[in-house]
Amino acid sequence: MWYVLRSLARCASPNRLGWRLSANVANELHHVYLDLGSNVEAENNLPRAVEFLREAGIVDSVSSVWETESVGYDGPNFLNACVLMRSPLSPAEFKEQVIRPIESKMGRVRGKDKNAPRPIDIDIVLFNETPHNAQTWEHAFVIVPLAELLPNFCHPILGASLSLVAGQVQVWIKKREDVVIS
């Protein structure tokens, strides 16, 4: 877990976009922000996962790659990046039709130990700028890369911009210039 200085400035208007069902608008493309992580052959698996995402939909942007220590157990360090995609799928459909098949194709096995080493882990962070999973907002490995793609987005818990929160992260995180995702 990381800690943030308590003197963060509040965002003027926190992002509170209402959840909209895609049933009202045919073929509406949703903005899907994803966090990708790997600690098994990560230098190869992160770019490979992005290629699979490109085959599945429209990838608009990809953050830099960041290295962090494992969370929850002693294991190899992780490499993480965030990706912005557009998709007509709902979050549940996206998870079942895009994320799970890619993770499976890349050798991800979901066992009892959710912190076990993995070739790839893909999580929805934001769906149409609506936070998808509250637990992800506690981790520098999400905040720092996401701040590159969406610097002015208000952190849903702290109420400060992601760029400000990312600048206050107090755990070890290193930008990996040698790992490039094109």
Residue 159 is assigned to a structural domain of this protein: no
Reported confidence tier of residue 11, pLDDT bands at 50, 70, 90? low
Indicate whether 6 belongs to any domain.
no
Q: Using CA atoms, how far apart are residues 3 and 18, in angstroms rounded to an integer?
A: 29
95 DSSP assignment: I
Nearest one of 101, 110, 90 to 55, comparing CA atoms? 101
Residue 96 lies in a domain: yes
pLDDT band, residue 182 (cuts 50/70/90):
confident
What b/e string do you get for 50-67 counting C-beta neighbours within 10 Å, with b at 16 or more? bebbeebbebeebbbbbb
> Is there a domain that residue 5 lies in?
no
pLDDT for 118-127, tens place per residue? 899 999 999 9
59 forms beta bridges with: 85
Structural domain boundaries, residue 63: 23-133
Q: Is the pTM of this model over 0.85?
A: no
pLDDT at 3 over 80: no
Q: What is the CATH number of the domain that holds 112?
A: 3.30.70.560
Over its C-alpha atoms, the chain yields an Rg (Å, rounded) of 16
Number of domains in the chain: 1
Is residue 146, in this structure, part of any structural domain at all? no
Q: How much is the pLDDT for 115?
A: 67
Domain annotation covers residue 148:
no
